[in-house]
Structure 1
Amino acid sequence: MARAGPRRAAGARRGQEQLRPPTWEISDSDAEGPASAETPATTRDPAGERRPAAEALRWLRPWQAVRRLAVLVDPAVLEDAGADTLMEALHALGCEPRVEPQRPARSLRWSRASPDPCPRGVPPEVWAEDEPHVLLLLEPEEFVRGVIQLTQVCGPTCSVPWVTPESPACLHLAVIGLDAYLWSQQPRAQETRQPGRPAVTRTKGAVSWPEVEEALVHLQLWENVDVLLVASWQELSQHMCAFTKALAQRPFKQARESGAFPFCTSRHWAAGERVARDGAGLRGAWWRQVRQFNRVSPAVADTVVSAFPSPRLLQQVYMACGTKQERLALLADLPVKTGKGVPPRRVGPDLSRRICLFLTTTDPDLLLDLGS
């Protein structure tokens, strides 16, 4: 009995040692082991590889990209009382409008701030900081003077007053209130006769809408310059917000087109039914084609495909028919399999006519579904 005490105590100590969590001692000699021994920390982690791509995708989302997009506004633009509408619209959009001197004056440009650090797996050109687009605001009088200069000398050798060698690659012009200005100048351009003086057909600085349209075509074709004609600052603000949203979405589209985010696994059929060279899968593709017609159930598609396993076989039967009415009614009486207690059905003349026209007509504008 006296010997049982130490044994019981030793067993208790061994039980406590077994319940104690395992520990490892790190020494300098551990680093000198063979290089081929792979530790759990160096194993490949698929989730860790997907994390950078997901982070880059989050930065490229339009709602996130618009916050990193700044609109640089020249101080001369703010001299107009309606410029407050533009600044409020940009603030509401979520981007940052900054007042900085620009060249040329009265212009606006866009600048993108790249994330720090840049996510891996994204092409560097996606994070371009400066956008090549510049919007130049023109007064109606200034634009009219340019229109007169453009209409006097036409052709590629004509000099455009707003385009210089230092101009940006993508220049856009915006004119506010041109229509109202031309209407205000119209009485001066009408013919006026005074006793003893010749008729005055046009005053200096007055142009007509055909001349404005001619200048717009010249700017678009020869100089690749877009002109935005708006009636108010509110309309200009709407255009600026829409253009800013488009610039915010462009990096995401570029990254998606460049394959930076390959969500679809290669060598896998994304959708539909794949047809091999030996004909495998043709029946499924033909079944899907029949199902694309309006008001066609899977049971009706099964009936058509069971009677004619391929569209080529059905076309051959159509060619063998003697009359057009026989072709149109070829599939009408095919019975459709239904469940127990359900009255029998058939394909019907409407679907029979649509399938016949689909496989035999040569008119691309023919309307197959009379009920649409």
Structure 2
Amino acid sequence: MARAGTGSAAGSRRGHRRPPTWEISDSDAEGPVPAEVPARAREPAEERRAAVEALRLLRPERALRRLAVRVDPAILEDAGADILKEALAALGCEYLIEPQPQAHSLRWSRVRPDPCPLSVPPEVWSENEQEVLLLLEPGEFLQGVAQLTQGSDPACSVPWICPESPARPHLAVIGLDAYLWSHQPSGQGIQQGSPAVTGAEGAVGWPQVEEALVLLQLWAELDVLLVASWQELSEHVCAFTRALAQRPYKRYREAQAFSFCTAGRWAGGERVARDGTGLRRAWHRQISQFNRVGPAAAEAVVAAFPSPRLLQQAYVACSTEQEQLALLADLPVTAPEGLRPRRLGPDLSRRICLFLTTTNPDLLLDLGS
């Protein structure tokens, strides 16, 4: 009976084989599993999901739908403003007609997503972009030009802006050139080909306009958009709105610890499989990243030492530092047809050696850079 029982137990073990797992002692199996262990295991996955969700919300095409262009009603008094309204409607963002602190101006604002991902810094979702586009009539702009160019202190005579306002103003003038030509006074005092307008401040033409543009840029960091039609203005407003839609994504990338690093398949790196396929190509590409190293020189190193580990072992086997630095100097490099074969050389040999052996993170490998 005992023998039969033993055989039955053995058969039971053969019929129900346990999968290969780590052995767990009785003491490890006792008691409930601490809650923080699975939570800690889930943290990387949750962080990745949060990052993916944040990037999805920050994509420019989605961010564009959360932008609003606030248009002052005074702008709509011009018949050409319908072109601007149609362009904004076709862009996909929201535009609102409401009075602005400055008449004839446009202002941009952003709606924060709800809920807002915790992985995105608050400054990324700045609701007020502080960007204002002020539309000026040609005559009004020329009056400011005369004030700027004839004033003794340009920094104190910049019109159109309020120093206390946090907004970053931009100016736009439609049809300035046509206005100058149509209002050119008759007489011998105006040079042909250089239109000007005569007012209380004197003659104001393109030379004064160009001087004023320089003063505005230098003293007030104020840029002026001179366009010939509402169509050109609408194209500029749409392009500026698209740029603002990309701003949160750029802020988010800059806020990362290593914003200069690229990730993903599009980064152009070599894919390495679990079985090691691709390691040789990755090693070849690593050598190719050194300055003044072509594919032939990289292939010479990889052919002699197929992996970084083998090269490191060769350095360990060297008896002196000079021998390490010159280890690769005499490696033959295949030359194109018709040219003499050459060797790797002492400079690249020294750089590769220092790259794999130094413990100084601030060491300059390339003396020629």
Following the alignment from structure 2 to structure 1, what is the Cα–Cα distance between the partners of residues 333 and 32?
72
Give the match for residue 211 of structure 1.
208
* Within-5 A mapping of 1:189-208: 190-191=188-189, 203-204=198-199, 206-208=203-205
Does the residue aligned with 1:348 lie in a helix, a strand or coil?
coil
Alpha-carbon distance between aligned partners in 1 of 2:152 and 2:340, rounded to the nearest angstrom: 60
Q: Return the match for 1:63 from 61, 64, 85.
A: 61
Residue of 95, 98, 110 corresponding to 2:96: 98
Give how far 1:169 is off. 3.2
Counterpart position of 1:109? 107
Range moving further from structure 2, 122-131 or 106-115? 122-131
Residue 347 of structure 1: how far off its partner (Å): 2.1
Aligned Cα root-mean-square deviation (Å): 4.3
Instruction: In structure 2, give the amino acid aligned to 1:99.
Output: I
Q: Is the 8 A contact 1:53 1:261 kept in 2?
A: no
Q: In structure 1, the residue corresponding to 2:242 is in which secondary structure?
A: helix
* CA offset digits 1:115-151 (Å, max 9, x no partner): 1111111111111111111000000000011111111
Matched, 1:244 2:278: no
Q: Is the 8 A contact 1:189 1:203 kept in 2?
A: no
1:221 — aligned with what? Answer: 218
* SS across alignment from 2:198: coil
Deviations 1:325-348, CA, capped at 9 Å, x for gaps: xxxxxx9xx895xxxxxxxxx623
* Cα offset, 1:186, TM superposition: 2.5
Distance 2:145 2:97 in 1: 30
Name the SS for the 2:130 alignment partner. strand
C-alpha distance in structure 2 between counterparts of 1:164 and 1:271, whole Å? 51
- Per-residue deviation, 1:51: 1.9
Which residue matches 1:234? 231
Matched-pair contact (CA < 8 Å) for 2:83–2:234: yes
Task: Give, in whole Å, the separation in 1 of the partners of 2:57 and 2:172.
Answer: 31
1:348 paired with 2:353, answer: no
Segments of structure 2 that go 5 or more residues without pairing to the other structure are: 1-30, 191-195, 271-281, 305-310, 312-324, 349-369
CA contact under 8 A between 1:69 and 1:113: conserved in structure 2?
Answer: yes
Q: Which amino acid aligns with 1:234?
A: Q
What's 2:253 paired with?
A: 256
Amino acid at match of 2:236: H
Counterpart amino acid of 2:49?
Answer: R
Aligned 8 A contact 1:62 1:248 in 2: yes
Q: For residue 169 of structure 2, what is the amino acid of its counterpart? A: L
1-side partners of 2:56 and 2:197: how far apart? 60
Q: Which residue in 2 is equivalent to 1:326?
A: none
Report 1:36-51 matches (<5 A): 37-38=34-35, 44-46=41-43, 47-51=45-49
TM-score by length of 1: 0.62
Q: Which digits, 9 at most, give the CA deviation of each residue in 1:303-357, with x for residues without a partner?
A: 59879x9xx97xx99xxxxxxxxxxxxx9xx895xxxxxxxxx62357989x99x
Which of 175, 179, 182 is 1:181 aligned to? 179
Residues 256-291 of structure 1, C-alpha deviations (whole Å, 9 max, x = no match): 1111798869xxxx969xxxxxxxx99875555699
Equivalent residue, structure 1, for 2:80: 82
**CA–CA distance in structure 1, aligned partners of residues 340 and 70 of structure 2:** 60
| CA-CA distance at 1:57 after TM superposition | 1.2
Partner of 1:126: 124
Check the 8 A contact 2:66/2:112 in 1, yes or no.
Answer: yes
CA-CA distance at 1:38 after TM superposition: 3.5
C-alpha distance in structure 2 between counterparts of 1:229 and 1:206, whole Å = 20
Q: Deviations over 1:36-78 (max 9, x none)?
A: 6439985732533322221111111111000000000000001
Residue 7 of structure 1: aligned partner: none
| TM-score, with structure 2 as normaliser | 0.62
Counterpart selection for 2:51 from 45, 50, 53 = 53
SS of equivalent residue, structure 1 residue 203: strand
1:302 equivalent to 2:299? Answer: yes
Distance 1:349 1:180, change over 3 A: farther
CA distance in 1, matches of 2:235, 2:157: 31
Question: Residues 130 and 335 (structure 1 numbering): CA distance in 2 closer, same or farther, change over 3 Å?
Answer: closer
1:221-277 residue CA offsets vs partner (Å, 9 max, x unmatched):
111111110111111111111111111101101111111798869xxxx969xxxxx
Q: 1:148–1:100: structure 2 CA closer, same or farther, 3 Å change rule?
A: same
**Equivalent AA in structure 1 for residue 198 of structure 2:** T
Counterpart in 2 of 1:148? 146
Contact 1:123–1:260 (CA under 8 A) maintained in structure 2: no
- When Rg is computed on C-alpha atoms for both structures, the one with the higher figure is 1
Equivalent residue of 1:44, what SS?
A: helix
Residue 160 of structure 1 and its aligned partner are, at CA, apart by 1.9
The one-character-per-residue Cα deviations of 1:184-226 (angstroms, maximum 9, x if unpaired) are 122446438xxxxxxxx98326411110011111111111111
Aligned to 2:12: none
